Amino acid sequence: MEVIRQWFRRHFSDPQVVILALVLLLGFVVVITMGKMLAPVLAALVLAYLLEGVVTAMQRLGAPRLVAVILVFLVFIIVLVFALLGLLPKLSYQVTQLFQQLPNIIGKGQDVIMHLPEQYPGLVSEAQVADLMNAIRAELGGLGQRVVSVSMASVFGIMMIMVYLILVPLLVFFFLKDKQRIIEWFQGYLPKERALTTRVWQDVNVQIANYVRGKAWEILIVGGVSYITFTIMGLQYAVLLSTLVGLSVIIPYIGAAAVTLPIAAIAFFQWGWSSDSWYVLLAYGVIQALDGNILVPLLFSEVVNLHPVAIIIAVVVFGGLWGFWGVFFAIPLATLVQAVLKAWPKKPLPETDASTA
């Protein structure tokens, strides 16, 4: 018990530390208990972070904040309408086409699997192929049931999308317009002696802002380059696949590997084991290499560097806790943990304890 008491004194004897711990605990409880309900608020916060940089730049040029907010918000609405009317119909059309072609794609894949024992008799046996085919049929049966359940819930999903389309832009506008008032209102409920909490928040706020803006540019650049590349090479479902490639950068390391499978499957269905399929995979590999080695260092130069193991653990842990938003904010949340650990004051151990140790 004495060891635990000394550890507690060393780490929690400062009132500033207690305030920081309570703020972190309260935030954790709120997100865990009301994460799904707060999804529109989180989406609006991400967009507000994204647009705040443009508003601040216009203010530096001499524009009043309200005028800058209105202009930036109008441009945001125009881009949103363009995305809804321009991108979504194409995306929906290609998804419908893909589902229509799915039986043919699966049939072609089954033919390839059935001929594996003839081509590689020493590596693949007929019994292994039969087990694999049974597993594929079982998985397809489960997929059909999931599609039916999704279609039954589609009406509710459409209603939720309509709510998002109304609520999120409104929240974005008020987050930008009344940013200072909201911050001051929130600070009014915090203790006055909160220097440590303020310092941690300032560090993390800069990291989150840089991360959100950098991630948005990365999605647009990687998705756009992928669309141009796939279109030039004549790959089917270029809009759908390039959208998947762009969104895959949200999940570090894992996303790029996961998107490789649909690209390879569609390339194989379109061209078979020809050079065109390999050229598509090579081009995709080059895009990922340029993204990881050139684009990410340029966009995230101001974000605290984290070890790949720490990033993967953050994605797994926070994604398991908060789903999509946990995955999206995995790196900023890991940065928050790192900032807290750095700023956390520790009282030195008494000399008697040190000599005893």
What are the structural domain ranges in the chain?
A: 38-90+100-187, 195-344
Task: Note the pLDDT of residue 254.
Answer: 78
What tens digit of pLDDT does each residue of 208-241 get? 777 888 888 888 999 999 999 999 999 988 998 9
Q: What is the pLDDT of residues 26-39, one digit of tens each?
A: 877 877 777 677 77
What secondary structure letter does DSSP report for 291?
Answer: I
The helix or strand, by DSSP H or E, that contains position 108, with its residue range, turns out to be helix 88-114
Within 10 angstroms of residue 235's Cβ, the number of other Cβ atoms is 24
pLDDT in tens, 64-103: 989 999 999 999 999 888 888 878 888 888 888 887 777 7
CA 125 to chain centre: 41
Binning pLDDT at 50, 70 and 90, where does residue 191 land? confident
Token representation of residue 7: 């550890």
Residue 89: Cβ-neighbour burial (10 angstroms; 0-12, 13-18, 19+) = exposed
For residue 125 the two structure tokens come to 């046996």
Please give the model's pTM, rounded to 2 decimal places.
0.72
